[in-house]
A and B are shown apart, each in its own frame.
Chain A
Amino acid sequence: MGYPITQKVENNFPQSGVRSKIIDHMTLRLETKKLSVIYGTIYGIKDVSLPIYDKKVTALIGPSGCGKTTFLRSLNRMHDLTRNTLIKGNVYLNGEDIYAPKVDPVMVRRRLGMVFQKPTPFPTMSVYDNVIAGLKLVGIKNKLILDEAVEKSLRHAALWDEVKDRLSSPGGSLSGGQQQRLSIARALAVEPEVLLMDEPTSSLDPQSTSRIEELIDTLKKKVTIVIVTHNMQQAARVSDFTAFFYLGSIVEHNTTSKMFTVPENKRTEDYMTGKFG
């Protein structure tokens, strides 16, 4: 999608000369400023400011209940549907605040695709209908466009060769790993700018996991990816940046290579070496 990226990146990492060099020639796709999500009276996350760079993979790590998923879901306004949830602060997509009063959450979600922990094929739909659900159900009926979108999205999700002969069989008949790639294809079909992945491999076997990780590597040429993961090795393998969440705040945010070799914060190091969490 051709949204002009007008916002110039400021150097958020003044401490290290090496890092600022890497960051200087990247553009910002998404950014949160003092973002808080409050459930009733409890803070799910508090004052989180995080830059997310264009066509890079940002991994969110941290112990269970630290707010990773809460943060991810606030990026495409999924919290709008939960009762007693209050959002404070701002989320900027290409410089526009997605929580501004006149912004339609449906349009926001079309630009920020999401893949969930468990594969979620739509139960009554075929593989084909699953992929184009986002297009068809908003009124695109041209068969040529739809056929093309199905093939393109399934190829992007590395699933085309496996399912091209059974596009009309139910989405639920695929294996777990295939279903997850189907969910990714479905998210890609509406051509989002950002793909939010919430532990996309936690319910999959090692082989399917590695397929999805390879996929993430190819996808980042086209889209910006934010991935929540419990698996430290996965974060190290797939991401360019890592943010470590703890008790609803970001403890450390850095390039993945830096974070996994010389973490600056003691708690990050403890978490990554398995001392807690």
Chain B
Amino acid sequence: MKSLKKRYLRDNLMKVFLVGNTIVVLTPLIIILLYVFIQGIGAINIDLFTQELGSPSRAMTGRPTGLVHTIIGTFVVDILALIIAVPFGLGAGIMLSEYPDNKLNPIMRVMNDTLNGMPAVLKGLLAWALVVKPMGSFSGLSGGVALAFVMLPIIARSTESSLMNIPWSIREAGLAIGLPRWRVIMSIVIPASKSGLATGLLIAFARAAGEAAPLMFTSFGNNYKSSTLIGWIMGPVDTLPQRLYSLAISPYAQWHQLGWAAGILLLSFVILSFIIVRIVIREKNY
């Protein structure tokens, strides 16, 4: 009987240990959320969503300033990045998972992991060399390319692992009724793993949406809205993480306030997209 008591004690100790660990892991998250919220809430007002930033004097003289150009720019650059990264990332993931015999796969896997581990600032340099230099100007497009390099390896890896979760027997069943291989992949395997695929895309998106470094010398930043539609893609564009950084290092108290507001915006942007994707993939998932 004594040993049973001991085991119960050990069981409870383990539980306390695990719960404690969970709290330790979650604490920084909660602190960040709370701190950003408390600091930034004062700067949240209607001007934030309707006005441009303008020159420092605009804030100094108390005229309304906001980050509308930054919000739009973030959408433009992130969506450009998705458009570029998703086809390649999905393609690479499908290749790794569905054609495991291919001789290129081991090399591809190593290169993918290397790309994933590479500092984001180098990806910005690469995008600068590939897009900014030939085009002769900073642009939303080059920012999209830089972020696509961030997304690509994450999408490829998550696609591979979520497709691998679908048992081989399902693929064989598809082949056995006389479907070509690509049909089996497109119509049976991919629909079956769509929630995994969506989660992977989202993680990649959230990762890239928070990157500031690669955007410094690609989309560069802009204090004003672009006057033309094409200007958002071909001209310098503001994005939240990089604007947050430049507001924070600026010498103006008003801009520091605005920086906290940008922090709130960035956090809610990422959290919102998480929630939306969760809702979208939950329905009709049998």
Cβ contacts under 8 Å, A116 to chain B: 169, 172-173, 176
Expressed in whole angstroms, the Cα–Cα distance for A133 and B189 within the complex equals 13
Q: Among A76, A125, A133, A170, point to the contact of B179 (Cβ < 8 A).
A: A133
Cβ contacts under 8 Å, B207 to chain A: none
* Contact assessment for B175 and A134 in the assembled complex, using a CB-CB cutoff below 8 Å: no
* Contact assessment for B173 and A120 in the assembled complex, using a CB-CB cutoff below 8 Å: yes
Look across to chain A and name the residue whose beta carbon is closest to the beta carbon of B177.
Answer: A134
Contact with B along A200-222 (1 / 0, CB 8 A): 00000000000000000000000
Q: Does B251 contact A (CB under 8 A)?
A: no
B-side interface residues, number (CB < 8 Å): 21
Q: Does A40 contact B (CB under 8 A)?
A: no
State how many angstroms separate the Cβ of A224 from the closest Cβ of chain B: 16
Expressed in whole angstroms, the Cα–Cα distance for A28 and B48 within the complex equals 81
Look across to chain A and name the residue whose beta carbon is closest to the beta carbon of B167.
Answer: A120
Cβ contacts under 8 Å, B174 to chain A: 122, 133
Residues of A110-128 whose CB lies within 8 A of B: 110-111, 113-114, 116, 118, 120, 122-125
Cβ contacts under 8 Å, B183 to chain A: 137-138
Cβ contacts under 8 Å, B180 to chain A: 106
State how many angstroms separate the Cβ of B118 from the closest Cβ of chain A: 31
Contact with B along A171-188 (1 / 0, CB 8 A): 011000000000100110
Expressed in whole angstroms, the Cα–Cα distance for A209 and B163 within the complex equals 32
Q: Does A190 contact B (CB under 8 A)?
A: yes
Cβ contacts under 8 Å, A186 to chain B: 173, 177
Expressed in whole angstroms, the Cα–Cα distance for A20 and B42 within the complex equals 97
Expressed in whole angstroms, the Cα–Cα distance for A189 and B173 within the complex equals 13
* Known contacts A123-B286, A124-B191, A124-B286; A133/B177 CB under 8 A: yes
Residues of B169-194 whose CB lies within 8 A of A: 169-170, 172-180, 183, 187-188, 191-192, 194
* Contact assessment for A137 and B179 in the assembled complex, using a CB-CB cutoff below 8 Å: yes
How many A-B Cβ pairs are below 8 Å?
A: 76
* Known contacts A137-B187, A170-B286; A109/B173 CB under 8 A: no
Look across to chain B and name the residue whose beta carbon is closest to the beta carbon of A124.
Answer: B191
Q: Among B172, B178, B194, point to the contact of A78 (Cβ < 8 A).
A: B172
Contact with A along B135-171 (1 / 0, CB 8 A): 0000000000000000000000000000000100110
Look across to chain B and name the residue whose beta carbon is closest to the beta carbon of A122.
Answer: B188
Q: Does A83 contact B (CB under 8 A)?
A: yes
* Contact assessment for B170 and A123 in the assembled complex, using a CB-CB cutoff below 8 Å: yes
Cβ contacts under 8 Å, B166 to chain A: 123
State how many angstroms separate the Cβ of B285 from the closest Cβ of chain A: 8
Cβ contacts under 8 Å, A123 to chain B: 166, 170, 188, 191-192, 286
Chain A interface residues toward B at CB < 8 A: 76, 78, 81, 83, 106-107, 109-111, 113-114, 116, 118, 120, 122-125, 133-134, 137-138, 170, 172-173, 183, 186-187, 189-190
Beyond A123-B192, A133-B174, 11 additional contacts (C-beta under 8 Å) are A81-B172, A81-B175, A106-B175, A109-B175, A113-B176, A123-B166, A123-B170, A124-B192, A134-B179, A138-B179, A170-B286
Pairs A–B under 8 Å by Cβ, sample size 5:
A81-B175, A109-B176, A109-B178, A133-B179, A138-B178
